[in-house]
Chain A
Amino acid sequence: MTAEVLAPQDTHVRRPKSNSGSRRRPVREIVKAMRMIPLLPAILIMITFLAGPIIWSIYGSFTNASLTGVNASNPQWIGFENYLKLVNDPVFPLSIWLTAIFTFGSAVISQNALGLGLALLMQKADKKVTASVGTIIVAAWILPEIVAAFVCYAYFSLDGTLNQILANFGMTGPNWLYSFPMFAIILANLWRGTAFSMMVYQAALNDVPPEITEAAMIDGAGGSKRLLLVTIPMIKNTIVTNTMLISLLTLSVFTLIYVMTAGGPGNDSTTLPILAYKEAFRFSNIGYGTAIATVMLIIGAIFSVVYIRALRPQKD
């Protein structure tokens, strides 16, 4: 779907017919350039507020800028010092590892699997059940971030709902947010994010013609075989693009973790966004925080390129 943008649209676009033999007149070039003027407001806003910070991020990571003091107004160029510090900082590899666990655990594996599973079940289930369960799952998704974060905090806290349920079965639950912070935030992100994958897969499965699965059924393929050999290959592209997209979304989750554990206890749930925030604003080390931000940008950029590449083969 998204790939359409990248493919030439012969049907819609009025292609200026190149009159064979005519010279390239400068007037035409000017007219062509004039046509692009409406792009300017968008480009200006994006250069100032999007490209600007990115360039600033790369520049700032080579300075000792801080939140307060002399280095706030007059930061010094310190070369690769921030990056050297980053490499030697034991928290940084831990943070990368935790970000990877968080992204894989809550998005790539669970949201994907649960979203696809739900979409498949909904094809078989009763329409009313589908509608009401779908509404509940989407409700978690449309709540504002901060509300969802508080709800999850209430759910996992020591005297919260989860332990209340466990108490009903005669079990004493741990303080999830302190003892198992990663588990809690992964489940919380699963709760909040599954709706997206579910809706994407519902749409994708609706586009799979039933004739094809039915033909496989008549040929003797059982349920699991039909799923693995017919349905999944047919929505393969959707799976790839959805995985990339939810990874990108999960990579930059801040609010949920900040409210639930604030990266703690210690650094046990400090993913990269939390680490950058902590270093920049709590330890007022803007330069160092910016270096972490730059690393995050590079990781995001790599994912983004993979995502664009994943979109392309659909059309080509």
Chain B
Amino acid sequence: MSVIAAPPKGRKSDRPVSVASPKKNVIGFLANAVLVVIGACFLLPLCWLIFASVDNKATYQTKFPEEFSLDNFAAVLTPELTFLPLWNSLIISVGTAGITIVAALLAAYPLSRYQARFNKPFMYGVLFATGLPITAIMVPVYSLFVQFNLLDSIPGTILFMAASSLPIAIFMTKNFMDSVPITLEEAAWIDGASAMGALRLIVVPLMRPGIAVVGIFVFFQAWGNFFVPFILLLSPNKQPAAISIYSFFGQYGAIAYGQLAAFSLIYAVPAIVLYVLVSRGIGGSFALAGAVKG
């Protein structure tokens, strides 16, 4: 966890360079070549997305557009095609991240600061829950939502998504909180602050980067989630972008490839921006993975 809490800038360059390797150039050249080939293989599928989005006559073939046009974007940027689904995605993701962070911060405080017999089994339970396949419980969640009359309700969906991201969020938040030294709070306690006051005034400000990582991680997952809203939200005006993407399929018999690609890019941009924010500003390139790094 210390990796995230204090990300060393530019790790690569700080790394001592081996002076004992005689064949460095040959190995380096081979490594570069192999990396470039693998990179090209990974890039190919992405090329279609980018080329098709600026091509009026796009198909599933990857080809450089004959003429560059932004018509696809213009066609897609309408309230019902893009803005409403993106707005729904935003509400769901912000709601999920907000609830998750508040609940996780509150839960992490006693877990991190007090020793109780209850803590260890609770953390084991949380860790166990992070491993459960959420996909598996979607069928029972559906029938439970039918019973509670929560189907097609955005708040209900948000609460479920918050519940499913809470185990990992509590886990990460507790780890971040453990790295905040307790001495500062002890000073505050002596000055008469309550536990919650110390949490709000001392711990939270000190672990702001950690909170940002958790928040962005949860937001990121909620933003990209397809299966949960696919099962729980039925009316088109409540569905997030992940579901409305299907409206480019077969509605008028043919698939609007170019528009599909353009919409996909618009929908993907917030995820990309958030990732860049986390990896550049807050943690290392592995900040999101860091929570589970062994």
A238 — which chain B residues lie within 8 A by C-beta?
293-294
Q: Kindly report which residue of chain A lies nearest to residue B52, judged by CB atoms.
A: A154
Number of interface residues of A (CB under 8 A): 121
Within B270-294, which residues are at the interface with A (CB < 8 Å)? 271-272, 275, 284-286, 289-294
What CA separation (Å) do A242 and B130 show in the bound complex?
14
User: Is A20 among interface residues, defined by CB-CB distance under 8 A?
Assistant: no
Contact B139 A277 (CB under 8 A): yes
Contact B20 A217 (CB under 8 A): yes
User: Is A142 among interface residues, defined by CB-CB distance under 8 A?
Assistant: yes
Contact A52 B293 (CB under 8 A): no
- A290 and B143 in contact (CB under 8 A), knowing A136-B46, A204-B293? yes
User: Is B77 among interface residues, defined by CB-CB distance under 8 A?
Assistant: no
The secondary structure that dominates the B interface is helix
Contact A245 B292 (CB under 8 A): yes
A126 contacts which of B32, B109, B134, B175 (Cβ < 8 Å)? B32
User: Is B70 among interface residues, defined by CB-CB distance under 8 A?
Assistant: no
Q: Kindly report which residue of chain A lies nearest to residue B276, judged by CB atoms.
A: A142
A194 — which chain B residues lie within 8 A by C-beta?
42
On chain B, which size bracket covers the interface? Answer: 35 or more
Q: Kindly report which residue of chain A lies nearest to residue B105, judged by CB atoms.
A: A38
User: Is B35 among interface residues, defined by CB-CB distance under 8 A?
Assistant: yes
User: Is A164 among interface residues, defined by CB-CB distance under 8 A?
Assistant: yes
25 examples of A-B residue contacts, CB within 8 angstroms: A2-B175, A4-B1, A5-B123, A6-B123, A13-B182, A36-B118, A46-B167, A57-B140, A125-B28, A127-B12, A127-B13, A142-B272, A145-B242, A146-B245, A147-B267, A154-B52, A155-B44, A194-B42, A203-B293, A204-B294, A210-B16, A210-B18, A292-B139, A293-B138, A308-B131
Q: Closest 6 CB pairs between A and B?
A: A304-B131, A241-B294, A49-B163, A252-B133, A133-B39, A57-B140
Residues of B near any A CB (own CB < 8 A): 1, 3, 11-13, 15-16, 18, 20-21, 27-28, 31-32, 34-36, 38-39, 42-49, 52, 59-62, 99, 102-104, 106-107, 109-116, 118, 120, 122-124, 127-144, 146, 159-160, 162-164, 166-167, 170-171, 174-175, 178, 181-182, 186, 195-196, 199, 220, 223-227, 231, 241-242, 245, 257, 260, 264, 267-268, 271-272, 275, 284-286, 289-294
